[in-house]
Amino acid sequence: MPQTYPDISDLLKAKAKRRRELAALSWEEKVKIIERMQRLLPKGMWREKPTQRTRKKL
């Protein structure tokens, strides 16, 4: 029996649309997004790659 996969074309279209929207932002707007991400992430997680130990905490 051939394997079937779910249709993810809508997901891929939405992802491409978001990429275009982000690419169209000004430099200042992109910096604001990064600053917001830094505030929302737990302290120290911004620059660290998750390890097995830190993944267990999440």
In a domain, 25, yes or no: yes
User: Which of 3, 1, 19 lies closest to 11 in space, CA to CA?
Assistant: 19
Q: Which residue has the higher pLDDT, 45 or 55?
A: 45
In a domain, 37, yes or no: yes
Q: Give the model's confidence band at 2: pLDDT under 50 very low, under 70 low, under 90 confident, else very high.
A: confident
In a domain, 52, yes or no: yes
Q: Are 49 and 41 in contact (CB under 8 A)?
A: no
In a domain, 5, yes or no: no
CA dihedral 16, 21, 23, 24 (to 10 degrees): 140
The parent domain of residue 26 ranges over: 10-57
In a domain, 33, yes or no: yes
Q: Which residue has the higher pLDDT, 39 or 29?
A: 29
Q: Average pLDDT, stretch 16-43?
A: 93
Residues 41-52: tens digit of each pLDDT: 877 676 666 665
User: Which of 58, 28, 56, 34 lies closest to 47 in space, CA to CA?
Assistant: 34
Cα Rg for the chain, rounded, in angstroms?
18
Q: How many domains does the structure of the chain reveal?
A: 1
pTM over 0.95: no
